[in-house]
Amino acid sequence: MLLFGIVFAPAITALVLALVPQKWLARLTPIVPAAIFVWLAATQVGADTIVTAEMPWFPSLGVTLSFFLDGLGLLFALIISGIGALVLIYAGGYFEKPADRVRFSIYTLIFMTAMLGIVTSSNLLLLFVFWEITSITSYLLIGFKNESSAAREGARRALLITAGGGLALMAGILLIGIVGGTFDLQTLLNNPDVLRESGLYLPITLLIFAGAFTKSAQWPLHFWLPGAMEAPTPASTYLHSATMVKAGIFLLARMSALLNGTDLWLYTLTIIGLITFVYGAIIALRQTDLKAILAYSTVSWLGILVAVQGAANEYAAVALAVGVLAHALYKAALFLMVGNVDHATHTRLIDRVGGLARPMPITFAAALVASLSMAGIPPLMGYLSKETLNAASVYDGLPALLAALLPIGVVIGAAFTVTVAFRVLYDTFLKRAPAGSDLHPHEANIPMLAGPVVLGVLSLALPFLLVPLLDPLISQTATAIRQTPTAVHLHLFEGFNTPLLMSIIAVGAGLLLFTIRQPLIRGLQKLPEFNPVVIYQWFFFTALPVFADRLTMRLQNGRLQFYITIIFASFITLISGIILLARLSFLDGDVLAHFDWRIAVVCLFIIIGAVSTIFAPTRLSAIVVAGIEGSLLSLLFAIYGAPDLAFTQMMIEVVTLVLFVLAFHFLPDAFVAQKSRVGRALDLLIAAGMGVMVTLLILVANSNQIGEPISDWYIENAVSLGQGQNVVNILLVDFRGLDTMGEITVLIIAAIGVTALLRFRPASQPRGGQFLTKNVEPPPEEPLPPEDESHDEESEEANEEEIS
């Protein structure tokens, strides 16, 4: 049960903060994630048992609120809560307006719950719900400065891509549920081969990939992440570097034991990840905005975290665990550093800043540790991470192609990462400030220093706390990823081996590239950029709208005649299709069993009326004849002994007549022939077909009595259950009350629609009288909704009556 508290405490805090949007309360919010972090670190690191919690949610659908905290979830939960606390503290110094800080804290706390939910969910559907909440909170945070169009565009792009991936993930999860018979991760992990052996392995894996790759910004879908840098810096730090973008990595690690071991898994992850790693590192170098540099280098690092998961061996699991932790520590510190620089100098362009080491010594110190860690310089966390990574890349069991590609790719990417790290550090803090620049930098305030300093200290200290802290944590994580007990013993120095050699080459090459960075960057900037964002733009903002436009123009062209033709034609096709396919009989029953000459007479009049409507010269005369038809129909009801229906039908006719008369105000009185002879012949055909189909339908209903008619039940129980004599009314307000509720709601919607169309139509649209000259159909201000509605009810009731 404690796990529920951990997952939902941030969201509850957000709720309280939303109700009491006060600055002092926002100031207290970091306590919540800090407490979670302390509890996790104190009780869970090195623990032998896995904490679980469960509560039924939709028992009929097999959805339970079930959580479990294994090593993998623990590592991520520590990062989420720890960095979350630092970011909330940071926000206190970053936002100038208290309202902004409150809003930011609310979004961030909700996000925190969602993220903790992802990493601890045991039920896959639950995981999906949390997954989507992170997409939405990310959208809100990227669009935080909602008056900026770039922020809105970035938010929309991130949402479209990650939510699209979320849909794929949902499909994958549903397939897993079908194959595995359960959505429970713990159950699935106990029987790990069930998915691999099924015929749906390929689609499941591809769908999970789609979810993970979009969330974790893998090439070629990485472009939303740089766009997400419009978010306030603390949000970028938290979501788009330390936690949310690692949800995809987490998902792969979580599913690894269920899906890995195939060529599909190995090659897709390794190759896509490697491309992302090298591409991101190179593109990062050519950026000039500090945040964009860090964004692309995050893309790059996410790539390597995907790539190492392909092989899914012990080294890979360790490299993943250490890599996630190291990256979260140094990249979050660097992002916060950029926030400080931006705050102090009001620019993030690397060409405009320089020499900030002196005015901002503490920020500089933290950035120094973070960027050296990023470059993989011993004895920092980044170095440890790079060593484990190199070890994973030269693992013996890899197939020849990857055994050649992986180490080379890792070294190239690492070299560029080193260059980027040094460039960020040197050009921001050490290089002389550009001539003529007018910066008055100052050191950041204490809340804004806390984060970088704490993270820097951790990057520095953790490698020296291997035995008490890191080894047990990483062992737990690797065990959870591989689902086999794994004991990890990390060492800062393992002797001269291949991984160390690779590190040395990477750092050397990186330093070399750093010295020639000016021409290198200029060269890179001249390179033509293949940016998949073009495809995204085309798809969402050209192809889709044009397609939707054309479709709408075709189907919703404003001609009521066309709509009716479509509806009737579909009706005819459907009914005749069903009758033919199901070979329904329609002359079984005695059709003339209840013949009544009075009814025959009324029907004769109705037919005469219908025919004369066609020949009515004016609209008014047509509608009057139609009104008489309705009255005759109510006479039919009366003969059948349904006074309710008869009366209602009469009222409907009256109201309809008045509405029509009011509507005719906008129409020419006489009908104007608009159609060719062929067109009218087609209309005749459709009308006749409609009549035939309705007749057939009635005959079919008469001949195919499947079950006992429910009307008997209604009549029997009207008094005892409904406590009344009028079955029709009891049906409406009691037995089928929910239907009526739906119908009256539709009525209201129709009324709102009519009012909106009449009152708020654009001024440019032609007004009533002009229809005369323009000869077009009226705007759809038809008075049909109430009439339609009542007819529905009428026919429903009529059926009941007839059967009874």
Partner 1 sequence: MTRSVFFQFVARVMLPVLLIFSLMLMLRGHNEAGGGFVGGLVASCGVMLMTLAYGPDEVRQRFKIDFLRLMFWGLLIAVFAGVLGLFAGGAFLEAEWWKPFIQGIGRLELGTPLLFDIGVYIIVLSVTSSIVMSMAEEGERND
- Residues in the site for partner 1, rule: CB under 8 A? 643-644, 647-648, 651-652, 654-655, 658-659, 662-663, 665-666, 721-726, 728-730, 732-734, 737-738, 740-741, 744-745, 747-748, 750-752, 754-755, 758-759, 767-769, 781, 783, 785-786, 790, 793
Contact at 8 Å (CB) between 482 and 474? Answer: no
d(CA 364, CA 348): 15
DSSP class of residue 376?
A: T
| Counts for the chain of helices (H) and strands (E), in that order | 34, 2
Please report how close the Cβ of residue 645 comes to partner 1 at its closest, in angstroms. 9
Q: Which is nearer to partner 1, 574 or 658 (CB)?
A: 658
Quick one: 540 or 666, whose CB is closer to partner 1? 666
| 420/537 Cα distance (integer angstroms) | 29
Q: Is the previous residue joined to 379 through a cis bond, with omega within 30 degrees of 0? A: yes
CA 40 – CA 113 distance, rounded (Å): 15
Instruction: Give the residue ranges of DSSP H helices in 68-227.
Output: 71-94, 98-120, 124-142, 149-180, 185-190, 201-215, 224-227
Return the number of the residue (674 or 726) whose C-beta is nearest partner 1.
726
Q: Which residues does 52 contact at the CB level (< 8 Å), separation at least 6? A: 3, 66, 67, 68, 69, 122, 186
User: Residue 556 has which token pair?
Assistant: 């919703």
CB of 764 to partner 1, least distance (A): 16
Instruction: Considering the complex, state which of residue 307 and residue 645 has its C-beta at the smaller distance from partner 1.
Output: 645
Q: Cβ closer to partner 1: 21 or 785? A: 785
Q: Assess contact for 337 and 367: CB atoms under 8 A.
A: yes
Please state the closest distance from residue 768 (CB atom) to partner 1, in A: 4
What minimum distance in Å lies between the beta carbon of 786 and partner 1? 6
Least distance in angstroms from the C-beta of 609 to partner 1? 23
In whole angstroms, how close is the CB of 594 to partner 1 at the nearest point? 22
Considering the complex, state which of residue 511 and residue 638 has its C-beta at the smaller distance from partner 1. 638
Neighbours of 220 (CB within 10 A): 16
How many CB atoms sit inside 10 A of residue 201's CB? 19
User: Based on the number of CB atoms within 10 Å of its own CB, is 321 exposed (0-12), middle (13-18) or buried (19 or more)?
Assistant: buried
**Shortest Cβ distance from residue 800 to partner 1 (Å)?**
14
DSSP states of 753-769 as a string? HHHHHHHS--TTSPPGG
One-letter amino acid at 647 equals F
Q: Which helix (H) or strand (E) holds 67?
A: strand 63-69
Nearer to partner 1, 52 or 740 (CB): 740
- Nearest of 91, 131, 126, 104 to residue 115 by alpha carbon: 131
In angstroms, give the least distance from the CB of 756 to partner 1: 10
What is the smallest separation between the CB atom of 767 and partner 1, expressed in angstroms?
6
Q: Which one, 537 or 799, has the nearer CB to partner 1?
A: 799
What's the closest the beta carbon of residue 563 comes to partner 1, in angstroms? Answer: 20
Structure tokens at 741: 């509720």
Nearer to partner 1, 10 or 783 (CB): 783
Q: How far is the CB of 60 from partner 1 (least distance, A)?
A: 16
Question: 135-138: which pairs have CB atoms within 8 A and are 24 or more residues apart?
Answer: 135/159, 135/162, 135/163, 135/166, 135/215, 137/107, 137/108, 137/110, 137/111, 137/239, 138/111, 138/162, 138/228, 138/239, 138/240, 138/244
Contact partners, residue 126, CB within 8 Å, separation at least 6: 57, 63, 64, 65, 66, 117
Minimum CB–partner distance for residue 722 and partner 1 (Å): 7
Of 573 and 726, the one with the shorter C-beta distance to partner 1 is 726
Rounded-to-integer distance, Cα 289 and Cα 280, Å? 15
Q: Which is nearer to partner 1, 177 or 722 (CB)?
A: 722
Calpha distance 577→233 (Å, rounded): 61
Give the nearer residue to partner 1 in terms of CB position, either 679 or 724: 724
**Dist CA 185 CA 69 (whole Å):** 12
How far apart are the C-alpha atoms of 416 and 330, rounded to whole Å? Answer: 16
